[in-house]
A and B are shown apart, each in its own frame.
Chain A
């Protein structure tokens, strides 16, 4: 549909398109090939994006999406292949070159100066002269027009730091449009948004599409691909494995193409049968280093045989809550009870809590959960290195740590099963499986898990979810913090929604809907609110 619509409505903007012939696509890639040493990151990638269409690009981590986008945006150079913009071959060697060719990119992590205003951020790098004033006035006029045309209203004189994440993203889009981008690349744009903000973004993208822009949406969320794209390209192991019209496919079909085999998007589970409370939290307050409260008087219980999900937009206190429970951050107030002990008053550190049966899979694996330069074997005993099983007295037993690592790798299907390999050489999914194996291995009664499947490929997600549900069925208490709403809905028996450091509402799984949770995430108190 998009193809016909594109050629029918567009008044032939490109110069060398012959009249009557089908208009050249806004962006066309021909046999892009890129190697990094032994890694073949992109293998003869070809696809075309028509003006006035939204093109999805999906693939697992390491499928080569980022490399491809970095080639288009001039961060990397392809070893072979051509990039055509509106039918003309271009040679993009830098982001400046990409901008000149009419390509704009909205990165997952925004490239904004926090203490500049919106206006200053937009003109940054294209001030148009040594004196700012003239450029700023012209830019203001231009931006007001853009905002009207595309429904991209942003307070131009506000500091970036005062804006919500959704508005900051708008500024990024405005920046690209102000630089006359005809082709817009968005890299995982919804990762930091509430569902409602994501909907607004999609509406905005819809308007940009009507105005004839070509949009590439890079994501791993199948739901978004289905909701908004016209065509979708699926990448696996550096190659394009499918390019289809979105309406002729299904999430299941796409997932299978991404992974290369059939996958379950939703793991089946029976209803929970919660038992006694294993962990109870009362009026917990956590302050950051500046003394700002990040968790404000949170209370809840975690019972045996249930999974409690903590939903919320990133940065609403979930991370601090998790770290306070795990003994990494010291709370400023409140109680945490576990196994008849009071963890806060007794000042038990992470090691003492592990001894009491509290295990923790941290949110940010590479920052905290593993030591990147260590081997898998050394990482497989992190936090448990002083247990009797790993040695005698002061000395470590190399055979024991090797056997421990091999057993964990086998049980959790960690690939490659090479204990001596540096942990950073494993994929995100395999790293996560090893961390999970390590934490489960000590048979904890309570397991805290932050972002169980962040940076984990679809095939491993299914595996990890299965293991978590099996743990629940074995009578363990699990607390899952995730910014992926689908994950919360798929795993949790009970859902706590955090906003601004408070638990703003609690929902049983049966009564939870995406919309309800989304409203709470945005700060609208639920009926069951705390």
Chain B
């Protein structure tokens, strides 16, 4: 029996997100109009600001790097049937690991600091995810609740550490001293200069490459390994997993460790690559944007990269917009981002049924999938 709402695969993966995005922008346009600005001019400004210049592109990809890490984190957990809302906290604590390595071992050569910083970031993030994972696997505490709570605990812990322990002596603002230059992630400008390309100075750095590498590894892991297979079985049908001799508690813990480790990659970009110090609230919501990115990217690494770049462009274009249009302030940009998250993430299937009806009406054969 064909259930209503079956769409051809290309429409499901390609057309539907575009429709959602367009509707979100249309609603945003109405709001901009109500504020007395021209929507067309506003969107032109956003586009120009995010992808129109080298600076724009640099910033867009710099933001996207964070979203790729957190999007992958949410996606891996999601394949195991877990809704990890804690990428924010895992990224925060993971960043602490990276930051500590950079602070303490900054005198070491970069090639020695880098692997340790990566491992520390992944390890700290994974450790922070382990506690909710263990509670879910062995005690049945719902992972959504525990990961939310662990975001708050992470924030409090980091505030304590920054205010009381890591703060640079004789300074007012709660942040650590700057990392030694050896522990800085090479910027895109420097890297490209080596191969003879001049690129504008932006916070974009080598961490973007790590994010892309992580996406490839996640793809390999989920679809090409026995563990990934077990993870997907447990996520799709826990009863079938037990039947097949796959222990769901082990999958839950393994998937969350991996998820936390991926979220921990954010520190490479934000701390090692851009801020060069540990500071308050550096994930600034990327963990939550990761949820929307994973939803929009259908939990597939390729989709996540596309969605992350889109959200990066929204962030960068939004900053440009609030800078250039006096009537549109920072909060209005958050409204636009919120609408995109709402329509592409939370309400992703709203237009699915009407679209499917349209396809059925015009005789397009529903494909498999």
Q: Which of B2, B229, B365 contacts A396 (CB 8 A)?
A: B229
Residues of chain A from 264 to 310 with CB closer than 8 A to chain B in the complex: none
Q: Which of B239, B366, B368 contacts A422 (CB 8 A)?
A: B368
Q: Hey, which chain B residues are within 8 Å of A128, CB to CB?
A: none
Instruction: Report whether A371 and B233 are in contact in the complex, using a CB–CB cutoff of 8 Å.
Output: yes
- How far, in whole Å, are A386 and B246 apart by their CA atoms in the complex? 10
Q: Hey, which chain A residues are within 8 Å of B2, CB to CB?
A: 36-39
- How far, in whole Å, are A421 and B230 apart by their CA atoms in the complex? 20
The 3 closest A-B pairs by CB, nearest first: A351-B245, A383-B244, A350-B245
Instruction: Report whether B237 and A362 are in contact in the complex, using a CB–CB cutoff of 8 Å.
Output: no
How many chain B residues touch A (CB < 8 A): the figure is 27
Instruction: Report whether A352 and B236 are in contact in the complex, using a CB–CB cutoff of 8 Å.
Output: no
What is the 8 Å Cβ interface bit string for chain A, positions 351-365, against chain B (1 contact, 0 not)? 111100000101000
Q: Hey, which chain A residues are within 8 Å of B224, CB to CB?
A: 395-396, 398
Best-surrounded residue of A37, A38, A328, A420 (most CB of chain B within 10 A): A37
Instruction: Report whether B247 and A349 are in contact in the complex, using a CB–CB cutoff of 8 Å.
Output: yes
B226 in the interface (beta carbon within 8 A): yes
Residues of chain A from 75 to 134 with CB closer than 8 A to chain B in the complex: none
With both chains docked as a complex, state the minimum distance between the C-beta of B332 and any C-beta of chain A, in angstroms: 40
A261 in the interface (beta carbon within 8 A): no
Q: Which of A369, A378, A386 contacts B243 (CB 8 A)?
A: A369
Q: Hey, which chain B residues are within 8 Å of A360, CB to CB?
A: 243
Q: Which of A39, A362, A395, A421 contacts B1 (CB 8 A)?
A: A39
- How far, in whole Å, are A18 and B232 apart by their CA atoms in the complex? 66
Instruction: Report whether A395 and B245 are in contact in the complex, using a CB–CB cutoff of 8 Å.
Output: no
Q: Hey, which chain A residues are within 8 Å of B360, CB to CB?
A: 37
Instruction: Report whether B242 and A374 are in contact in the complex, using a CB–CB cutoff of 8 Å.
Output: no
Instruction: Report whether A372 and B237 are in contact in the complex, using a CB–CB cutoff of 8 Å.
Output: yes
Q: Which of A328, A350, A385 contacts B230 (CB 8 A)?
A: A385
A327 in the interface (beta carbon within 8 A): yes
With A395-B225, A396-B229 in contact, is A371–B245 under 8 Å at CB? no
With A394-B227, A396-B229 in contact, is A350–B368 under 8 Å at CB? no
Instruction: Report whether B233 and A382 are in contact in the complex, using a CB–CB cutoff of 8 Å.
Output: yes
A200 in the interface (beta carbon within 8 A): no
B contact set with A: CB distance below 8 Å:
1-2, 4, 6, 224-227, 229-230, 232-233, 236-237, 239-240, 242-247, 360, 365-366, 368-369
- How far, in whole Å, are A92 and B229 apart by their CA atoms in the complex? 47
- How far, in whole Å, are A269 and B37 apart by their CA atoms in the complex? 84
Nearest B-chain residue to A422, judged by Cβ: B368
- How far, in whole Å, are A522 and B165 apart by their CA atoms in the complex? 74
A425 in the interface (beta carbon within 8 A): yes
Q: Which of B226, B240, B366 contacts A386 (CB 8 A)?
A: B226
- How far, in whole Å, are A151 and B364 apart by their CA atoms in the complex? 54
Q: Hey, which chain B residues are within 8 Å of A371, CB to CB?
A: 232-233, 236-237, 240
Nearest A-chain residue to B221, judged by Cβ: A394
Residues of chain A from 318 to 351 with CB closer than 8 A to chain B in the complex: 326-328, 349-351
Q: Hey, which chain A residues are within 8 Å of B243, CB to CB?
A: 326, 328, 350, 360, 362, 368-369, 382-383
With both chains docked as a complex, state the minimum distance between the C-beta of A119 and any C-beta of chain B, in angstroms: 37
Q: Which of A37, A349, A367, A378 contacts B239 (CB 8 A)?
A: A367
Nearest A-chain residue to B6, judged by Cβ: A37
- How far, in whole Å, are A23 and B368 apart by their CA atoms in the complex? 49
A391 in the interface (beta carbon within 8 A): yes
- How far, in whole Å, are A388 and B366 apart by their CA atoms in the complex? 37
Task: Contacts A367-B237, A369-B240, A372-B237 known; list 15 others, CB within 8 Å.
Answer: A37-B366, A38-B2, A39-B1, A328-B242, A349-B245, A349-B247, A351-B246, A371-B233, A371-B236, A382-B243, A385-B230, A385-B244, A386-B226, A391-B226, A422-B368
- How far, in whole Å, are A349 and B240 apart by their CA atoms in the complex? 13
With both chains docked as a complex, state the minimum distance between the C-beta of A265 and any C-beta of chain B, in angstroms: 28
- How far, in whole Å, are A22 and B185 apart by their CA atoms in the complex? 93
With A328-B242, A351-B245, A368-B240 in contact, is A38–B366 under 8 Å at CB? yes
With A39-B1, A328-B242 in contact, is A422–B369 under 8 Å at CB? yes
A373 in the interface (beta carbon within 8 A): yes
Nearest B-chain residue to A66, judged by Cβ: B1
Residues of chain A from 194 to 222 with CB closer than 8 A to chain B in the complex: none
Instruction: Report whether B239 and A385 are in contact in the complex, using a CB–CB cutoff of 8 Å.
Output: no
With both chains docked as a complex, state the minimum distance between the C-beta of B367 and any C-beta of chain A, in angstroms: 11
With both chains docked as a complex, state the minimum distance between the C-beta of B86 and any C-beta of chain A, in angstroms: 26
Instruction: Report whether A368 and B247 are in contact in the complex, using a CB–CB cutoff of 8 Å.
Output: no
- How far, in whole Å, are A394 and B230 apart by their CA atoms in the complex? 12
Q: Hey, which chain B residues are within 8 Å of A372, CB to CB?
A: 236-237
With both chains docked as a complex, state the minimum distance between the C-beta of B65 and any C-beta of chain A, in angstroms: 27
Q: Hey, which chain A residues are within 8 Å of B229, CB to CB?
A: 378, 385, 396
